[in-house]
Amino acid sequence: MPSAQLFDIARLRGEPKIVVVGSYGSIIQSMLDFDHLAGRRSPSVVAIIGTGRKSERYFFGRTEIMIPVVPSPAALPPGALRQVNFFLNLSSGRRVLDSTRQLLAALPNLVGGVVFAEGVPERQALQLQRLTARKGVWMVGAASVGLVVPGSIKLGAIGGTQPRQLEEARLLEAGSVAVISSSGGMVNELIRLVAGSGRRLSWALALGGERFPLTAPREAFLAAQADPPTKAIAYFGELGGRDEYELAELLQQGAVTKPVVCYIAGTVAELFTTPPQFGHAKAMAAREDESARAKRAALAAAGAQVAETFNDIAVLLQRLPDGPGPAPPPGDNRAHLLESRRPALFASSISRDAGGAVQLLGQDLLGLAEQRSFAWIVASLLLGKPVRSAELERFVEFVLRLLVDHGPYVSGAVNTMVTARAGRDLVSSLAAGLLTIGPRFGGAINAAAAAWLEGVVAAKSPAHFVEEQAARRLYIAGIGHRKYRVDAPDPRVERLLRFADGLPQQRFTGFAIAVEQITAQKKGNLILNVDGAIAAVLLDLLSERESYSDEQLRSLVEQEFFNALFVLSRAVGLTAHYLDQRRLDEGLFRLPEDQVTRADVDLSEQ
């Protein structure tokens, strides 16, 4: 069982950095709205663990932000791994145990978290109790709508999901009453009763209605007793189980001395001859002493103020020694402003208009044009963030020059020239050439990057990698040249590889060279070509100089980033071929008849 020392409210009043497992838009947005209304300068949710997207759009105030989505906790950037101290698990009941294990294994500074799902198997709930106790982490749930510390943290749907609900519940101002409830719905009712009494919350917690809650009522009461701002406790319990007898014992022993206002639901069960099962897993009185009436009597005898009806709680709250909190500030309509938000049609992380001036990656375009090289701007825009290393900048500059044109013989140039001679305009001619780029022309850099990445990340030996490709009857992208051979190497490749000389690891370049040593023995022209060299060196520079993880490199491959440099550079050459044809003005191009061979194919046998 988690200890009361682990569930320390003071640790919730720090700087929350939350990771959310699963996506539940209204809950996550409510947490961000709470952050904004509480005056935080940055959102508490740093990442979402999920699949299908790279990011999700939310509002922070009236500004749309992108929350990154990663496939596992281990895929979080190193800084986020160290920062995260809380989690909200929104995954299904059957996945809670495995997903929580991953969180506990990957996040070294976790303090605690909330499990939202109902129906966590009881055996797994007991495993979670033991696991969190060993890790020194507290956990609330399952079937919990969360916890909230006014002005500090909102972890879950607790208190409502609309900005106006958060404001009306007075969740932005710290107070003195702790609300503890086994029911998610009733915790919100208690919060509103506290606000209606003129008092403010010190914190509120929905324990969850499962048979084996990960944080028991007893632990929550001890945490309230140990919390200096908390002066009183409001509690909602139910029939079934023996939790309330443990609470009565704490009151009798003096372990809890703060005033307790409570209501135990379920006296209607006495009307049934057979004990009924209510909504929550443990809400059934199998014995007389588990009935709501017996529990009320035990708590009253121990000194708690017990309400006979739920409405009576409002009267008991009014009698608490602490007086009403301050009145809300006049004309405060921040929550109302948040409810009129509308999402934008597109999101862009690379450029925007700021007061009539264009900004690239948050910097003034004119300033960048005056201070930065074209290669730096290109690499930064393509990556979506400023390049940090001079080595990557120099490499991109060299590649842009190297790839600018490869003569009028290649398919892209031919298509551009034919289109130009047909009298079409610049954009049409350029598009005709660019549309030729693919796996057989210009698209091999990305394929080579994918091959080197696969081999290195999977820790394959170069020999095994080559044999595996051969067994699958696949060409190795980045290997092979129609002109150069092992005894007459391509000078461009030699120059490209020099950019990796200063790198200490050279995982990808080393792997590509080792593959070449094997393939060149099979055939002299199966050497590392320009595409393969660019891909290998670029992977190493991004890994070692820009601190890209293997997962981030895989994402760049999926985006086809590595072909972008070819497309950009070759667009210049194709444009030049268009202009050249317009200058020469040779008229419409038509193939001579002797340049087309008739292919007689008998389709009847096909």
DSSP per-residue codes, 426-456: HHHHHHHHHTT-BTTBB-HHHHHHHHHHHHH
Rounded to 5 degrees, φ, ψ at 574 are: -65, -40
User: Which of 54, 76, 57, 78 lies closest to 66, judged by CA?
Assistant: 57
List, in sequence order, every residue forming a beta bridge with 483; answer none if it has no partner. none
Distance CA 181, CA 191 (A): 10
In whole angstroms, what separates CA 596 from the centre of its chain? 56
Asked if 142 and 210 count as a contact pair (C-beta separation under 8 A), the reply is yes
Asked if 207 and 236 count as a contact pair (C-beta separation under 8 A), the reply is no
pLDDT at position 100: 94
Listing DSSP states for 350-410 in one string gives: SEEEETTEEEETTEEHHHHHHHS-HHHHHHHHHHTS----HHHHHHHHHHHHHTS---TTS
In the block, which residue shows the tokens 């939202």?
Answer: 116
Asked if 52 and 181 count as a contact pair (C-beta separation under 8 A), the reply is no
Please calculate the CA angle 75-76-80 and round it to the nearest 5 degrees. 165
Element spanning 129, H or E: helix 122-135
Distance CA 312, CA 65 (A): 44
Establish whether 280 is a catalytic residue.
Answer: yes
Helix, strand and coil content of the chain, in percent to the nearest 5, comes to 45, 15, 40
CB-count burial class (<10 Å; 0-12, 13-18, 19+) for 460: middle
pLDDT at position 266: 65
Determine if the peptide bond prior to 142 is cis (ω within 30°).
Answer: yes
Asked if 338 and 59 count as a contact pair (C-beta separation under 8 A), the reply is yes
Listing DSSP states for 292-357 in one string gives: HHHHHHHHHHHT-EE-SSTTHHHHHHHTSSS---PPPPTT--HHHHHTT----S---SSEEEETTE
Which residues have CB under 8 Å from 32's CB, separation 6+? Answer: 43, 44, 45, 58, 59, 60, 65
Collapse the DSSP code of 512 into the 3-class scheme (helix H, G, I; strand E, B; otherwise coil) and give the result: helix
Using CA atoms of 130, 131, 133, 138 in order, give the dihedral in degrees to the nearest 10.
-120
User: Which of 88, 316, 323, 279 lies closest to 186, judged by CA?
Assistant: 279
Domains and CATH numbers, the chain: 9-323 (3.40.50.261), 444-584 (1.10.230.10)
Rounded to 5 degrees, φ, ψ at 39 are: 95, 10
What are 526's two structure tokens? 């199966």
Which one is catalytic: 280, 406, 481, 577? 280
Distance CA 240, CA 592 (A): 93
pLDDT at position 154: 97
In the chain, the amino acid numbered 167 is E
Which parts of the chain register pLDDT below 50? 1-5, 268-269, 271-273, 276-281, 283-286, 330-331
Distance CA 476, CA 451 (A): 7
pLDDT at position 6: 64
Asked if 99 and 21 count as a contact pair (C-beta separation under 8 A), the reply is yes
Asked if 219 and 3 count as a contact pair (C-beta separation under 8 A), the reply is yes
Q: How far is CA 505 from CA 399, 493, 530, 537, in A?
A: 22, 19, 21, 11
